[in-house]
Amino acid sequence: MLGERPRARGVPARCHCLLLLQCLLLLRAPAGLLGDQTRRVSLEVIPEPKDPSQNLLHIRAVGVNSTIHYIWSSLGPPAVLFVATDTPHSVLSINWSSLLSPEPEGSLAVLPAKSVRFSSALIFPRLFEFDSTNSSEVKDGSPGKPYPPYLLANFSWDDVNSTLDPTMLSATFQGRPSKDPLGAFSNGSLAFKVHAFSGSGRAAHLPRLLHTADTSQLEMVLSGAVPQGNHSLFGLEVAIPVLDSECPQLKEQDSIDDEYCPSVFQLAQLLWHSSPEGFLQWRPVAFSQKQPDWKTAVPCQVSRPGPTLATLLPQSRIVIAFFGSSVNFCTFNLTFGDSTGPAYEDQRYLSWSALLGIGIPPVDSFSPLVLGIMVAVLGAPALLLVGGGLSLLILRHRRYSEYEPIS
């Protein structure tokens, strides 16, 4: 005999492709705080017994071994307190008489206190407006000449009960200045739309942020307000209580979002230093129309968080109630639009969205379409290799078949 033909060795092309697809799909799966992919979410408006207009919105997201509490309030400037515990049985406790007193410290707590693993808050003290028509000021890095800011602690807020939707897990705080001598808000309002999630997914409208069960979404909407200038830019001040010596870290990174807009975008994140981490995540864009599309997108600029004296900020009752009156603060500003883009006065509308959550921030990944293309492209070399090997074996077999074996 001339000898035996060697057998072809290797991984079948189908297995190769399936393995690759499984690895890519695993990259798409966002992780929860403690591995919970879903949570049991409830929304409850807690009214003050003597004055129902004074109310809090409590979002409770219960997992297997943890609970995340979001407490929204318009007592003072709009604010949200968010607390993560390591038990599914933690509850919110409120002493209304103490909360509305001159000394609200200790009147709001999440119990049992020893179960709390993370706590922080966001406060929205001021709405800014700038005149961006002065090109020299814009070139200096300023949004423009500032008008007197709107103090959101002086706004009158509608009853959140009228907007509560337990099915959609959403509610809206909508308000306007209690005193409006210029009539800027006679037909306008500022709203903070809150949306909770029981699982992972993507928002239905732009910028289609990817969420998990450990997050809730905030959407700020300025609608119908009359601007004070011909090309006004608006901004929002955000304050954060600081329990240690450091402000949260502002981080910007590239993010893939191929399914909904085929490009690489920036993703801005505010990251707390504690473990588990808290985060605020957003795309650096806002929208100037009610039906958002990328043609109506305007840039969102953000300043670096820096320490701020508590005396310079209006007090939030829920923050003092939970953290005490001696807490320090960091602030940063968001500015929407620029002097060359769409003007607010064209539609008199502005919206900006962000995710607030605990744990690992969601990360965008490739869509199923692109995953399929990647599997096809990356699997092609394996198919060619196997196919080429089979062809050589067949040719070799035919070549040997022309001869009679030698005994």
pLDDT tens for 67-90 read 999 999 999 999 999 999 999 999
Over residues 102-106, the mean pLDDT reads 94
Looking at residue 126, its pLDDT comes to: 97
* pLDDT reading at 36 higher than 60: yes
* pLDDT reading at 385 higher than 80: no
Q: Would you state the structure tokens that stand for residue 298, as one six-digit string?
A: 């305007």
Radius of gyration for the chain, computed over Cα atoms and rounded to the nearest angstrom: 28
Q: How confident is the model at residue 43 (pLDDT cuts 50, 70, 90)?
A: very high
* pLDDT reading at 247 higher than 60: yes
Over residues 31-56, the mean pLDDT reads 79
Looking at residue 256, its pLDDT comes to: 64
Looking at residue 386, its pLDDT comes to: 60
* pLDDT reading at 153 higher than 60: yes
Looking at residue 255, its pLDDT comes to: 64
* pLDDT reading at 298 higher than 80: yes
Domains in the chain: boundaries: 1-30+368-407, 124-358
Q: How many CB atoms lie within 10 A of CB 27?
A: 10
* pLDDT reading at 60 higher than 50: yes
> pLDDT tens, 313-359?
998 999 999 999 889 999 999 999 987 877 788 899 999 999 999 98
Count of CA atoms in the C-beta half-sphere (13 A) of 75: 27
Looking at residue 135, its pLDDT comes to: 55
Q: How confident is the model at residue 390 (pLDDT cuts 50, 70, 90)?
A: low
Question: Could you tell me the CA-to-CA distances from 281 to 141, 216, 227, 243, 317 in Å, in that order?
Answer: 24, 11, 28, 21, 25
Predicted TM-score (pTM) of this structure: 0.81
Looking at residue 100, its pLDDT comes to: 93
Looking at residue 49, its pLDDT comes to: 83
Average pLDDT, the chain: 82
Q: Give the residue carrying structure tokens 């801005």.
A: 268
Q: How confident is the model at residue 262 (pLDDT cuts 50, 70, 90)?
A: very low
User: 274 or 261: which carries more pLDDT confidence?
Assistant: 274
Looking at residue 63, its pLDDT comes to: 95
Looking at residue 1, its pLDDT comes to: 43
* pLDDT reading at 218 higher than 60: yes
Over residues 242-262, the mean pLDDT reads 73
Residues β-bridged to residue 82: 70, 120
User: 325 or 133: which carries more pLDDT confidence?
Assistant: 325
Looking at residue 206, its pLDDT comes to: 85
| Dihedral-angle region of residue 161 (phi above 0 means left; psi in -120 to 50 means alpha; beta otherwise) | alpha
> pLDDT tens, 164-199?
999 999 999 999 999 999 899 999 999 999 999 999
Q: Would you state the structure tokens that stand for residue 401, as one six-digit string?
A: 């078949």
* pLDDT reading at 118 higher than 70: yes
Percent over 70 (pLDDT), the chain: 76
* pLDDT reading at 272 higher than 70: yes
DSSP 233-297: EEEEEEEEEESSSSPPEEEEEEEE-TTTSSSEEEEEEEE-SSSSPEEEEE-SEEESSSS--GGGE
Flag the least confident range among 18-32, 75-89, 236-250, 332-346.
Answer: 18-32
